[in-house]
Homo-oligomer: A and B are copies of this chain.
Amino acid sequence: MTEKLAIGIDIGGTNTVTGLVDAQGRMQGERSFKTKAYPYFDDYVERLVQDIESLRRTRPDAALAGIGIGAPNGNYFSGVAENPINIRWYEHAADGSQGAQILTVPFVETVRKHYPALPVVVDNDANAAAIGEMIYGGARGMRDFIEITLGTGLGGGIVANGEMVYGQGGTAGELGHVTVRPGGRRCGCGRRGCLETYVSATGIVRTMLEILADDPRPSKLRSVAVECLDSRMIAEAALDGDEAARAAFEMTGRILGEALANFVAFSFPEAIFLFGGLAKSGDLLWEPTKRHMEANLLRNYKGRVKLLPSGIDGANAAVLGASALVWKELRKLESR
């Protein structure tokens, strides 16, 4: 029987990475280009198709099963991305000059024109990570789990009864915008106190600055220009024993652990997976998060929810997640 392979596309503000992935989540080949090199959306899709075709030619023995796209604000129901963060595409005006910015980006419709016979699906990054976890990763066989992606922001993908929780409009699971401190830090969404203003690569920098403002102890991070401070420096300083940096991880873990305890009261998952850069800070983040989560859990949940690192392979995780959308879609089509 001809082997089937899925295309996974991770659309980021910097790079667009396309991968050819087998049903076990093994990467068979990868292509990438700079997203900003194609400011016109039709040119961008043409380039995507070139990369897909180039990958397809490397495995003439196999057949494409479908195309999965992980994009900021990608919506599984409508097939579009509304105002994808940090990415702008334009139309060609009639005279060939730059036309209007495309605010609702029609990924599925446009890619499907090139592949009318294949399933083409889009979803946001966190849902793609959750589906990757379910198909290839640590959530195989689980019917109830939560995926938390920790990057510049914080994303959530919730699976209940074996199905993604999309809600009425495809945009459930905005866990980065749960209010954890009413009246707290300003968020890019226009509100205050959102979880991601505390727990994310940018959130921990804000916490670090507050601690340096409040705590007179010496810290090597005081010599860094404010605009240069990043989560990796804080992690390195903490590992070197810098007390202020350790306090920043403690506070981050506290707020994340408290929030996770609330998420458990909602959907009582078997496990919560942490995915992405900040999740790799190891015990620095892990230990306080777990401690505060357990301390805040309602009695009948205590000790029953696993906190786990994502089981999807690091460097290619976002592409693998996007490719998993294809296998999930095929399962859904088969079960009808």
Q: Are B160 and A191 in contact (CB under 8 A)?
A: no
Q: A175 on the interface (CB 8 Å rule)?
A: yes
Q: How many copies does the complex hold?
A: 2
Take A160-B161, A189-B299, A298-B191 as given contacts and tell me if A169 and B266 are in contact as well, using a CB distance cutoff of 8 Å. no
In the complex, the answer to whether A174 meets B296 with C-beta atoms within 8 Å is: no
Given A158-B266, A163-B160: A296 in contact with B168 (beta carbons within 8 A): no
Docked CA distance A173–B298 (Å): 12
Interface of A is mostly: loop
Q: For the complex, is A269 an interface residue (Cβ under 8 Å from B)?
A: yes
Kindly list chain B residues whose C-beta atoms are within 8 Å of the C-beta of A174. Answer: 265, 268, 298
B175 near A265: Cβ-Cβ < 8 Å: yes
Query: In the bound complex, do residue A191 and residue B296 qualify as a contact, i.e. CB atoms below 8 Å apart?
Result: yes
Q: Which residues of chain B are within 8 angstroms of A190 by Cβ–Cβ distance?
A: 299
Within the complex, the shortest CB–CB distance from A27 to chain B, in Å, comes to 31
A165 close to B265 (CB less than 8 A): no
Does A270 reach chain B (CB closer than 8 Å)?
yes
Flag whether A223 is at the interface (Cβ < 8 A).
Answer: no
CB pair A266–B173 under 8 Å, yes or no, is yes
User: How many positions in chain A have a CB within 8 Å of any CB in the partner chain?
Assistant: 42
Which among A158, A165, A168, A177 has the highest number of chain B CB atoms within 10 Å?
A168
* Residue contact B265 to A266, C-beta cutoff 8 Å: no
**1/0 contact trace for A135-171 toward B, CB 8 Å?**
0000000011000000000001010110101111101
Q: How far is the CA of A258 from the CA of B182 in the complex (A)?
A: 9
Q: Within the assembled complex, what's the spacing in Å between the Cα atoms of A105 and B169?
A: 40
- Chain B neighbourhood of A160, CB < 8 A: 160-161, 163, 165, 167, 172
Q: Which residues of B contact A169 (CB under 8 A)?
A: 268, 300, 304
A158 contacts which chain B residues (CB < 8 A)? 266-267
User: Could you say which residues of chain B place their CB within 8 Å of the CB of A300?
Assistant: 82, 169, 171
Closest to A298 in B: B177
Q: Does A261 interact with chain B (Cβ within 8 Å)?
A: yes
The A187-214 residues at the B interface (CB cut-off 8 A) are: 189-191
Q: Is A281 at the interface (CB under 8 A from chain B)?
A: no
Are B262 and A179 closer than 8 Å at their CB atoms? yes
A178 within 8 A of partner (CB) = yes
Please report the C-alpha to C-alpha distance between residue A172 and residue B168 in the assembled complex, in whole angstroms: 20
A298: B residues at CB distance < 8 A: 174, 177, 189, 191
Tell me the smallest distance from the CB of A9 to a CB of chain B, in Å. Answer: 23
Query: Which A residues fall within an 8 A CB radius of B?
Result: 82, 143-144, 156, 158, 160-161, 163, 165-169, 171-175, 177-179, 182, 189-191, 258, 261-263, 265-270, 296, 298-301, 304-305
The 5 lowest CB-CB distance pairs between A and B, nearest first, are A167-B268, A172-B268, A174-B265, A168-B270, A160-B165
